[in-house]
Every structure is written in structure tokens, then in C-alpha cells.
Amino acid sequence: MKSFKELGLSHAFLKNLEEFKFTEPSDIQEKVIPIALQGKDIIGASATGSGKTLAFGAPIIENIKKKGSLQALIVVPTRELAEQVSRSLRSFSKQHSLKVLAVYGGVSLNPQIENLRNADIVVGTPGRIIDHITRRTINLSNLNFLVLDEADRMLDMGFIDDVFTIIEHCPAKRQTMLFSATISQEIAIIAKRYMNHPVEIHVESYVDPSKLEQVFYDVPQNEKFSLLVHLLKDEKSALVMVFCSTKRNADFIGKNLRKLGFDAMALHGDLSQNKRNQILEYFHESDKFVLVCTDVAARGLDIKNVSHVYNYDSPKNNTEYIHRVGRTARAGKEGKAITILGRMDYDNFRRVLQDGSLKITKLPTPEFERIVIRMSDHGREQGSYGRNYGGKYSGGRGSYGRRESNDRSYGRERREERKYFGRSRSDGRDNRIERSSYGNKKSFGRSGSRFGGSRRFGSSRGRDRDNRHSRHDSSRSHDSRPHSHNRGRFR
């Protein structure tokens, strides 16, 4: 392996790297930096955590000339990644006195407009960059470098038209570098249409498969949370990431883990930028912490020392799975990826298993305590999100008041809770979120489920809608035998 000095970097830049204790380049850095210093366009196929920021940042910083105008634009999919990349570039360019600015949504435009006037390097998300282009508050006429980082993620998030618009506003004479974990058809279109004879560079995954243990458990849908709690207590874990499919799931899981004494927080796109930054900063500084997140945190973020990754909701395909589990077993350290399957995860997990290179072992379900969640307490905690409930959460008809945009409907929250934890009792005694996993309203008599208490489903249109997720099982659940929901499981 070559040293940084052999890659053609200047003495000033090498001295700066020594301060950060960078001793030898990663694979992507070793392959990209010499070619990028020559001014060639590059397509880099590299997974998260491989050191891409230094790979494209070093050539930009070395070749840029400070002249008080924007010369390099780095486009990234998320606000967190914009902050992370901009911080890294500021550190790398300390000896060059370059002004690096991050621009993204969720914060005021005015400070960005002011700082854009003399920024040398801008790192931004597609939507906010388009805002500045529309307002003519960003000048791309002197741009020499364009970087599309995590390009596949941007396309997955629906930013392809924004990416095309940004590229078309850049000068034709420029150096373009594109980095993506996978090279899709859309990536190939960008390369053919907007890049000049790009050099393709492929590197192996930064995750060491020999140090990554991959397992899954198959449990009834309404026991997933209980198993998660058991595993978090039983596993010798330090920093943990728990992935959920939706923002509401992440919030709900995070809140109930905190109630059980875990140091846990939820991270997703509906949080304010300051709150997201605080959570990530706390995560970096902690020795033992549970970060419950959506896929916004799966890609690009520099999150080190993650010991365990839990898929509370199965990823949709093998690519998404690889991005998630890539948060652990990095840089030679051991890690563990655990997927908790319920009935609603089967279709997605089958798509994951189509990748024959993934060695995911099924483990027998351990004995674990069933968790009971008190809905009355949960209702009061949920109340802090709205202006005023106007009534006690005991089934009364009080006015719930206005709610914030990220929590529009109390009923929607309840549906999400039932979806993952079962239907709650409404008799005012226990308010337990427990129900049978059968999901077939015909199998419920007036006395309710096998846990007792609730009246038969379908008594109102609202309740019938609440259980629409389980209707596809009705043809298979005509009897009331225990564990009829186990049919068709992964073995």
C-alpha cells in the first residue's frame, strides 16, 4: 500500500493529515487521489465509511485557488451528511484558509445567502441548492469541481430531477466526481450525459465479512418489541443502531425504550436540524447508547464504534440491508447485525435473501419477558407533541387541539401502535397493548382476543381500517388454533 506522500499531495496537506493521525490511505483514497489530481472525471463505486470525503476533498483543496468565489460544489443527500462533509473539508483545508459552507433545508436561508457571497467550497442538499439557484443567490459560473456524493441514495430519495437541474447550471468545463455504493442505470445515464470520459474505480466493502455476525429471529408480530428489549439487555453491546421503516416507528420505539431505562433517542427527518445534530453529537460522545433511526442515518454518516445493528423492520432489499449493516464491523472491529422478523417483514426479507453472498443465520427464539406498555402513560407523553389535548386519554371525547405537522393525527399514531404492538384494551383496567397475531376479525368473539378484554373488531369503520394490514391472513386463519400465524415462516 502506498503512503499519502506517494499519492502526490503537497507538504502542507501532508502536515495537516499528520495532525489527524492519518497514517496510510484507504483503498478508495489510494485509487482516486492520483487520478483526481490529474483533473480527470471519476466514478467511484465505494460503500459508506470507505474514506470518500478525503478521496475527493484532497484533490479539490490541492487544486483550488482562493479568489473569493465558489469553485467547488459537493452535493449530498442529507443534512447530516452535509454537516459532516463540510466539517471534514474545513479540517483538511486549514492550511489553505478556504471558506467551506454547508447549505441545507430546515434552517434560515438568510445566513446562507450572506455566506454564499464569498464561499470557496459549498456542500449542500439538492433541494436547498435548487432554492438558491432559483433565487439567484448562488453563483456557479466559476465552478471548477462538482462532486455527487452518495449518488444512489439521492436517486432513491427522488432527487434525480434536482440533480439534473444542478448539473445543467454548472459550467461545461469542470471536473466531475461521482461516488455511489452501486452503479445503477440512472448513474450510468448521468455519466454518459454529463461526464467527460470518466475513470471507473471500484473498491471492496469497508465491512469485514469475517468479523460481521449476521443473524435473524422469527417471532410473532406483537412480540418484536419484547424480543428487542431482551436482546438489548442480554447482548454485550455498546453503541447500538436500531433501524425502523418509518419516522413514527422510530419515535415510538425510542420513547418506550427510554421508559424501560435505556439511554435511547430517535433520529429521523422530521426533527429540527439542531435536534438532529445534538443527537448525533451525544451518540458520538457516549459509551453505551441506542440510536433508533430511519434509513436517513444508514448512509454517509461518520458513526464509529457501532457494536450492534438491529433491523426492527426488515430492509426492503439486499442493497438497503448492506447499507444498514455497514455501520458495524468497520476498520477491523467485530460487529453483529440482528434482524427481528414478524409476519409483516417476510416479503422484504425474502428480497434480501436473494443475495447469495449474504450469510444470515436463523437463531432459535430465546425465552424472554413479555413487555406490557401502559397506554395511559404513553398517552400523556404523546400529549406533549400537541398544543392541548383538551381531555384525558381515557377514551373521552375531549378536543385534542392543533398538532404539529410531523404528528398530524392522533388516530394515525394509534394505528401505528396497534400495527406493531397490538390492539389496546379499552376497559380502563390495564390498557395493555397486547392482542393475538391472527389479525382475522372473524376469529374474535365478543370476549375478545386470547389476551382478553376488547370487543370484536369491525364494530366501526375506523377499527376496520385499523386492521387492514392483517386482512391478507384471513384466508389462512379460519381456525383459532394457537400459533396459526407461524405458517410460512423462514426456516
Q: Residue 332's pLDDT is what? A: 67
CA distance 358 to 347: 17
Angle (CA) 267-270-271 rounded to 5° is 60
Say yes or no: 195 and 57 in one domain: yes
Answer whether residue 491 is part of any domain: no
CA distance 151 to 178: 7
DSSP bridge pairs for 456? none
Say yes or no: 197 and 220 in one domain: no
Say yes or no: 265 and 402 in one domain: no
Say yes or no: 173 and 56 in one domain: yes
Answer whether residue 214 is part of any domain: yes
CA distance 380 to 418: 17
Say yes or no: 46 and 170 in one domain: yes
What phi and psi values does residue 57 have, to the nearest 5 degrees?
A: -70, -40
Residues of the chain with pLDDT under 50: 375-414, 416-417, 419-487
Answer whether residue 429 is part of any domain: yes
Q: What separation in angstroms does the CA of 380 have from each of 155, 377, 383, 420? A: 39, 5, 5, 20
Answer whether residue 415 is part of any domain: yes
CA distance 168 to 176: 12
Say yes or no: 358 and 214 in one domain: yes
Q: pLDDT by residue (tens digit) across 246-304?
A: 999 999 999 999 999 999 999 987 888 788 888 888 888 888 999 999 987 666 676 77
What phi and psi values does residue 305 have, to the nearest 5 degrees?
A: 65, 30
Q: Residue 298's pLDDT is what? A: 61
User: What is the CATH classification number for the domain harbouring 21?
Assistant: 3.40.50.300
Answer whether residue 451 is part of any domain: yes
What beta strand segments (E) does 263-345 contain? 264-267, 289-293, 306-311, 335-341
Written as one string, the DSSP assignment of 292-360 is: EE-GGGTSS-----EEEEEESS--SSHHHHHHHHTTBSBTT--EEEEEEE-GGGHHHHHHHHT-TT---
Say yes or no: 391 and 452 in one domain: yes
Q: If DSSP codes are grouped into helix, strand and coil, which group holds residue 403?
A: strand
Q: If DSSP codes are grouped into helix, strand and coil, which group holds residue 44?
A: strand
CA distance 26 to 57: 14
Q: Which of 156, 177, 202 is the last residue of a domain?
A: 202
Answer whether residue 332 is part of any domain: yes
Q: Residue 351's pLDDT is what? A: 95
Angle (CA) 169-172-175 rounded to 5° is 105
Say yes or no: 347 and 383 in one domain: no
Say yes or no: 85 and 132 in one domain: yes
Say yes or no: 337 and 385 in one domain: no
Answer whether residue 268 is part of any domain: yes
Domain that holds residue 198: 5-202
Number of domains in the chain: 3
Say yes or no: 94 and 181 in one domain: yes
Q: If DSSP codes are grouped into helix, strand and coil, which group holds residue 376?
A: helix
Say yes or no: 163 and 55 in one domain: yes
Answer whether residue 485 is part of any domain: no
